[in-house]
Structure 1
Amino acid sequence: MKTSIPCPRCQKPTTIEHFEDFPTPFNMKCPHCRAKLKETKMTPLLLLIAVIAVPLLIFLGITVQSFLTGYFPLVEKVPTVIVFLAFCYPIYALYESFNAVVIFNKGNLQLKKRQ
């Protein structure tokens, strides 16, 4: 398993921790030279996984909220996203870590072209 990937511009190592810190796979910058990076090999697969995972995460948030409403009626008035973040965030964090590992191990980093 790789421990780092060289930046296409400055050739300094980018680690899995850097990939986990990127906000999305579409908004990546080299932590050293701040060059904008794009991933060209795994992004379609990650988009497909997101199309499947996001509805499942929404369903999970609604299910947890309805379960908690049975015990605490006040939870019904709380937005579902807050309930999800409060009780299901570790699942979301695992999903994001999986995305980072896939991009890190199988991805192909390139510099974004300036428009």
Structure 2
Amino acid sequence: MTEEVKSENVNETVEEESADVKENKGMAILAYIIFFIPLITSKDSKFAMYHANQGLVLFLFGVSVSVIGTIVPLIGWLLILPLGTLCWFIFVILGIINAANGKQKQLPLIGKISLLK
């Protein structure tokens, strides 16, 4: 009988998370385009905040690639800037796909960084 209660609690938790995912899927997708809008509108959603964090880290990655690629002559212009921009674009697409599918999957290389609580 104790096992049944535990399994019921697990199912309730899953249903609550799926409700959060359903309600905030659009905000999670938007986090990869304009990361600060989910920060303002969906503070209570763990799902939207996770993707807002990923979007913020991705934004900072893009800014750093752009700055470093512009400052470093020749190698930056011919190697860092094009490859970094391509990598950034792929990460944006992966993040949007994960958010649209309702997954909290980390982005490659930069996904472990957590700037928001």
- TM-score normalized by the length of structure 1: 0.39
Higher fraction of strand: 1
Q: Which has the higher contact order (CA 8 A, sep 6+)?
A: 1
Higher fraction of helix: 2
- TM-score normalized by the length of structure 2: 0.38
